[in-house]
A and B are shown apart, each in its own frame.
Chain A
């Protein structure tokens, strides 16, 4: 083991430039891999946020009193499709209107609570239930208008799914690229040492003796470059946490309802990248050395 590491270290020292370029190429690959995973998670998280915000707003006619609205609200609360409801009275609507238009006093003077409609904001547990809910609410007595942003949500959902699928495919493709990079990088080393390996084998070296330093080299390249990529991803995670881009945290597409702080996700991503680095280094170097062990 110690001998194998010393051979590996001497290989690295002898081929400084090659080693640096190998590590750079692999670091870029792992950074891209990390960014890609981030993009997939961010888009999924953004969809979750949008789905949470998606709602049907029901505006009531002026003659539809608060007592009737309360009955309607109670009935809707029994509907399993409805996850949350917020009642906005005429006074609340005026307050919101004033807040939004506080810099326009002329406009504020001309508006009173009586001309603004009371409304009920209805949120669905599943975004796909919004449309039938809206259709049903439109037919109720006392309902003036029903609004919901179907197109925005469904379009974002479509693109988010596209990002998810394309992202996953790209992650797989990058794995294959990384694997090829490791093999190509180590093949360069191996080809330059082909005669040495042949001599070693002829004078009685075991496969492990020939293989170990190269496996160590592959694992070192993989771990070192994935470590650099991980540091960049952790910094990105800390930045996103500090900027509070996702106040509830990041959502994972395959775990509905689970959110985690961006820095926690960065640590998980670090493990994924380091494990990928280890596996790619190990498998890549094993594949690259294989042909020299055939005799």
Chain B
């Protein structure tokens, strides 16, 4: 059973202007897939639809075989705990330490202090930030900030991680570190869906590439390449 399935999905923010137009694709468990395309192609919309921040006008979206569209409002938090999201702008809380930024994900799920004290160091260890646990975001490089965001997304041991241009705001030297972390997480069985328009990354990683332009799927190739 596919982990994620888009079935003829169309989405428009303004009437008559389709951001996604009849998009259909499947993602199997444990896959690493790039969603590529120019700015405004509809990459971020795919991520917002998967976290139910937005709803499609047409089509269906299945997650682990169940339609996301039928999920009740009160069950959306459960869905979002199964799908970790990493953003281009990190979305960290500047007033909280690295530890507390990761702990937020657990606090909102009513985890107790013992669980938080056990899980947070583990996920920070996984992304290689154990020594920065009590630093504040302003004391970190762009790459380190993104790793904190990845650690936060990992806190619930999600089935899938959605990364929306995760390397877009970090220095080139840190890009490899972030990708390495994402590959490591993928190798442990977590599905990764990464939206990007960085052709160097896509071509170097040799993963499945779903190309979108003007809201439509142009190509879907395993080990594919991308020329922006």
- In the complex, identify which listed stretch (B103-111, B123-131, B192-200) lies at the interface while the others stay far away: B103-111
Interface size on A, residues (CB 8 A): 15
CA distance A203 to B73 in the complex (A): 15
Q: Which of B51, B73, B84, B108 contacts A209 (CB 8 A)?
A: B108
Contacting pair B85 A202 (CB below 8 A)? yes
* Interfacial chain B residues near A207, Cβ < 8 Å: 73-74
A295 within 8 A of B: yes
* Interfacial chain B residues near A203, Cβ < 8 Å: 80-81, 84-85, 104-105, 108, 152-153, 155-156
* Interfacial chain A residues near B109, Cβ < 8 Å: 204-205
Interface code B128-152, partner A: CB below 8 Å = 1, 0 otherwise?
A: 0000000000000000000000001
* Interfacial chain A residues near B155, Cβ < 8 Å: 203
B173 within 8 A of A: no
- In the complex, identify which listed stretch (A164-172, A193-201, A255-263, A282-290) lies at the interface while the others stay far away: A193-201
A3 within 8 A of B: yes
CB distance from A213 to the nearest CB of B (A): 12
Q: Which of B77, B81, B84, B93 contacts A199 (CB 8 A)?
A: B93
Contacting pair B105 A204 (CB below 8 A)? yes
Interface code A187-221, partner B: CB below 8 Å = 1, 0 otherwise?
A: 00000000110111111111101000000000000
* Interfacial chain A residues near B110, Cβ < 8 Å: 3
Interface of A is mostly: helix
Contacting pair B77 A198 (CB below 8 A)? no
B78 within 8 A of A: yes
CB distance from A15 to the nearest CB of B (A): 12
B53 within 8 A of A: yes
Contacting pair B53 A204 (CB below 8 A)? no
Q: Which of B50-83 contact A (CB under 8 A)?
A: 51, 53-54, 73-74, 77-78, 80-81
B91 within 8 A of A: yes
Smallest CB-CB separation from B91: which chain A residue? A199
Say whether, besides A204-B80, A204-B156, A195 and B91 are in contact (CB < 8 Å).
Answer: yes
Give 8 new A-B contacts, CB below 8 A, not counting A203-B152, A203-B153, A204-B109.
Answer: A3-B110, A195-B91, A201-B80, A202-B85, A203-B84, A203-B104, A203-B108, A204-B105
Q: List 24 A-B contacts (CB under 8 A).
A: A3-B107, A3-B110, A195-B91, A198-B91, A199-B104, A200-B104, A200-B108, A201-B80, A202-B51, A202-B53, A203-B80, A203-B104, A203-B108, A203-B153, A203-B156, A204-B80, A204-B108, A204-B109, A204-B156, A206-B74, A206-B77, A206-B108, A295-B53, A295-B54
Interface residues of B (CB under 8 A from A): 51, 53-54, 73-74, 77-78, 80-81, 84-85, 91, 93, 104-105, 107-110, 152-153, 155-156
